Amino acid sequence: MTRKNKMVSVVLMAAMIFSLLLTGCGSQSASQPQQPTTQTITDHAGRTVTIPAQINRCYYTSPLGMIMVYSLAPDKMVGWSMKLTDKEKKYIPEQYSSLPFLGGLQMNGKINTEELLKAKPDVIFSVGPDPLSDTNKSDADKLQQQLNIPVLVVDGDIRSTEKAYTFIGQILGVEDKAQELAAYCTKTLNEVTAATQSIPEDKRVKFYYAEGPKGLATEPKGGSHALVLDLVNGNNVAQVTAKGGGGMSDVSLEQVLKWNPDVILSWGVDAGGAYDLIRTSEDWKNINAVKNNKVIEIPNYPFNWFDRPPSVNRFLGLKWLANTFYPDYYKVDMVKEVKEFYALFYHANLSDDDAKDLLKNSTYKVNG
């Protein structure tokens, strides 16, 4: 065989081997099972919903779900269900605070469905503080049919936070983060209630929760917006009927004067509250809380520690309020607690001064 013929034979053999390799690889690929593109989920309302196997983008019908998703997987958010003020944005990294406001269904609000559809979320979470009911189911079904986007109902009760985080974390593929946040919330609730529920009647703080710009709206014991107060076992002086929905039962100044609380909790001016008014008005000056400088501003950035929205921000509120009301029973370093919470839940690294600024109007000296 000539040298030329040998070279031709070698080239032909190499080509045959390469062809066989390609054929083998093709057969192997063809034999591999296809990965499913969807999954079927049963949500907390018992609804069976088909969603994409991988969720890259999501939305929520209320700030409760919004904050939970933000704490878990902010990179999967397509927008905000509440408008953020400049002061709120200070505590949220710009890459997230710059996301658009798309609206929500809380307090008879509306979702900007046109813009939401453009954002193309893979799933929408419906998380509410009220007990699950047939209304939750029907509202989720209607929204799902309207948008042709799967909607999952999630139990938003504060005592179901671990269950909610676990569920949302599995959907979003962030199980480890969900476990970390759920553990914090469960531990906090257990610690605070264990420390405060056995406090004797005569040592319970007698307080009034002043809402609104005049401070003449409030929440009674058992009201959904007074949950943090109930959990820390404060003595709520408000003898009024709870209002459903947004709450805020109207009271008169005469009633507050008669109740004569030892502590008043109020929203700051930026939140539409009466903190400054109560401390400076002649009308309030004879109330014990004002005379003894025990008027407290509820921290509000980026989300109120107390309520509105009633999401996981309340767990920091539980620590703050228990420590403020009952330092002999529950004592923590609140500067340290604030920095830890904001890093863990809000992806914000605060300095000691930042934490102290958040707390500056939110405490008092126990003995006056």
> Tens of pLDDT along 294-342?
999 999 999 999 998 999 999 999 999 999 999 999 999 999 999 999 9
Instruction: Give the mean pLDDT of 175-185.
Output: 98
* CATH class, range 194-359: alpha beta
Asked, colleague to colleague, whether 38-173 and 194-359 share their fold, the answer is yes
Question: Of the candidates 148, 147, 129, 153, which has an alpha carbon nearest to the alpha carbon of residue 60?
Answer: 153
In the chain, what are the domain boundaries? 38-173, 194-359
Q: In angstroms, rounded to a whole number, what is the distance separating the alpha carbons of residues 129 and 270?
A: 25
Q: Is the pLDDT of residue 22 over 60?
A: no
* CATH class, range 38-173: alpha beta
Beta strands in the chain (DSSP E): 38-42, 48-52, 58-60, 123-128, 151-155, 206-210, 217-218, 235-236, 249-250, 263-266, 295-297
- Let me know the angle formed at the C-alpha of 163 by 160 and 167, rounded to the nearest 5 degrees: 140
Lowest mean pLDDT among 127-136, 272-281, 359-368: 359-368
The amino acid occupying position 97 is: S
Q: What is the pLDDT of residue 9?
A: 53
Q: What is the pLDDT of residue 10?
A: 47
- Helix %, strand %, coil % for the chain, to 5? 50, 15, 40
Instruction: Give the mean pLDDT of 33-61.
Output: 95
Over residues 62-93, the pLDDT tens digits come to 999 999 999 999 999 999 999 999 999 999 99
